[in-house]
Amino acid sequence: MYADLIVKNIGNLITMGEGKKPRVGKEMNEVEIIKDGYIVIKDGKFLEVGSGEADKKYIGGSTLIKDAMGLTVTPGLIDPHTHLVHGGSRENEFSKKLDGVPYMDILKAGGGILSTVNSTKQASFEELYKKAKKSLDIMLSFGVTTAEAKSGYGLDLETELKQLEVAKKLNEDHPVDLVSTYLGAHAMPPEYRDDRDKFIDEIIKALPVVKEKKLAEFCDVFCEEGVFSIEETRKILNAAKELGFKVKIHADEIATLGGAELSAELGAFSADHLMAASEKGMDDMAKAGVIADILPTTSFNLNKDYARARLMIEKGVAVALSTDYNPGSSPTENLQLAMQLGSLKLRMTPKEVITAVTVNSAYSVDRGKEIGSISKGKRADFVIFDTPNLEYIMYHFGINHTKDVYKNGVQVVE
Ligand code: NIG
Ligand code: FE
């Protein structure tokens, strides 16, 4: 059988093995690196991986041969937590931030998330599409081939659906694959402040509509002091689970509320943020197999503590990393920066970092069977980094190391 594409002369080939399950604890650091590697691709999937030369039997008249020139190749990166689709931006709050006004105080005063809710309500489908597409192009340029995208800037059904429809259309049109999440419970609209239960009911009533239209496969809640309580989060996510949604939680970002513990109780795919997660919460997550999705660019941007990634890894939790791209707490699409902070601030080794943004992030968005490793049968999404080795990506920080990006075996960035 002739191959469609062979990539040869790969100095350091990081396959992540077969990627049959998330890597927990010290497995995150047990990453094998193939020297002088090659990859064989057929019909958009990986067919074979090895060291040295690919077998001549794969080479026919139409087989493309790509010379990786001794550089570094990894699976396509996966950003498992973004707020991709939204209107406007919030640089008007930047000086307040620099003056030290806390993120939650800006929200309580009607700014923050609520300000983006207004901009998103006002934006047309086309405006949202254009802005999000620009961000997706940037993500792809950094080597991201799959991203999760949340709603959450509508807080009314119409606008939430508009955001999710934009993500759906972009998923069809753009090389980056999107996994959609309904985040109706992202903030309490001011008009419901005195009747919180009514808003919770509205969200629960919206769930079957989102489901029916097949607009999201995950449901998420911003579980935080002053936003949605543990009880409210439990109620919403149990209702979501009953309808067949998979669940995630914005957990223990600022206050130690018990979001990590709740994620384990609910069997969430991931608990995200976790800067203030308790040790008990981490133990519960390890036991229940909930992936810790850590967002170091958010800590950096909010000038807050970083999540205790080392302790989580020690406890046997599977860690993923993402940008949290959003206009407030993390206005960046740069997953390589999250990886670099993962090493520099979370003290994760480069091998743990690459595990976090490939196989573990794939499982945190329930795509682990199709992507996240360079192994037979998986989708041929991969990145050629212009670096001599893996360490260099984290060491030389703040720039984009991507040379070429391939999606389903086709070059999409060169
Ligand atoms: O994950 N923390 C809650 N939600 C987002 C921020 C959204 C915003 O500020 O617009 C986050 O950090
Ligand atoms: Fe978020």
Residue 326 annotated as lining a ligand binding site: yes
CA atoms within 13 A on the CB side of 41: 27
Of 271, 327, 316, 323, the C-alpha closest to 295 is 323
Supply 35's token pair: 């020297």
CA of 326 to the centre of ligand 1 (A): 6
Residue ranges of the chain with per-residue pLDDT less than 70: none
Question: To 10 degrees, the CA torsion angle through 309, 311, 316, 318?
Answer: -10
What residues flank ion ligand 2 with Cβ within 5 A? 324
- Give the pLDDT of residue 332: 98
Biggest alpha carbon–alpha carbon distance for the chain: 72
- Cβ contacts of 381 within 8 Å, gap of 6 or more: 75, 76, 145, 146, 371, 406, 407, 408
Of 239, 241, 234, the C-alpha closest to 259 is 234
CA of 160 to the centre of ligand 1 (A): 16
Burial of 366 (0-12, 13-18, 19+ CB in 10 A): middle
Pocket probe mutation, ligand 1, options 79, 81, 82, 83, max atoms within 8 Å of Cβ: 83
Output the ligand 1 site: residues, CB below 6 A.
83, 112-113, 116, 222, 250, 253, 298, 324, 326-330
Q: Which residues pair with 404 in a beta bridge?
A: 384
- Give the pLDDT of residue 158: 98
- Give the pLDDT of residue 46: 98
Of 369, 355, 264, 258, the C-alpha closest to 313 is 355
Annotated domain spans of the chain: 5-75+373-413, 78-364
CA of 355 to the centre of ligand 1 (A): 25
- Give the pLDDT of residue 344: 98
Q: How would DSSP label each residue in 296-321?
A: HHHHHHHT-PPP-HHHHHHTT--EEE
Ligand 1 atom 5 nearest Cα: 329
Ligand 1 atom 12 nearest Cα: 329
Do 5-75+373-413 and 78-364 agree at the fold level?
no
CA of 81 to the centre of ligand 2 (A): 6
- Give the pLDDT of residue 133: 98
Q: Which atom of ligand 1 is nearest to the CA of 224?
A: 2
- Give the pLDDT of residue 302: 95
Look at the alpha carbons of 112, 115, 117, 123 in this order and tell me if their dihedral is positive or negative: negative
Kindly report the CATH number that applies to the domain delimited by 5-75+373-413.
Answer: 2.30.40.10
pTM: 0.98
CA 108/CA 224 separation, integer angstroms: 13
- Give the pLDDT of residue 371: 98
Mean confidence (pLDDT) of the chain: 97
* Ligand nearest to the Cα of 97, by number: 1
Residue 153 annotated as lining a ligand binding site: yes
Which pLDDT tens digit goes with each residue over 340-396?
A: 999 999 999 999 999 999 999 999 999 999 999 999 999 999 999 999 999 999 999
CATH architecture for the domain at 78-364? Alpha-Beta Barrel (3.20)
CA 163/CA 411 separation, integer angstroms: 29
* Ligand nearest to the Cα of 113, by number: 1
Q: By three-state DSSP, how is residue 191 classified?
A: helix
**Do 266 and 230 form a contact (C-beta atoms < 8 A)?**
no
CA of 326 to the centre of ligand 2 (A): 7
| 186 phi, psi to nearest 5 deg | -105, -25
Ligand 1 atom 9 nearest Cα: 328
Of 407, 340, 403, the C-alpha closest to 380 is 407
Instruction: Kindly provide the b/e burial profile for residues 217-232, where b requires at least 16 CB atoms within 10 angstroms of the residue's own CB.
Output: bbbbbbbbeebbbbeb
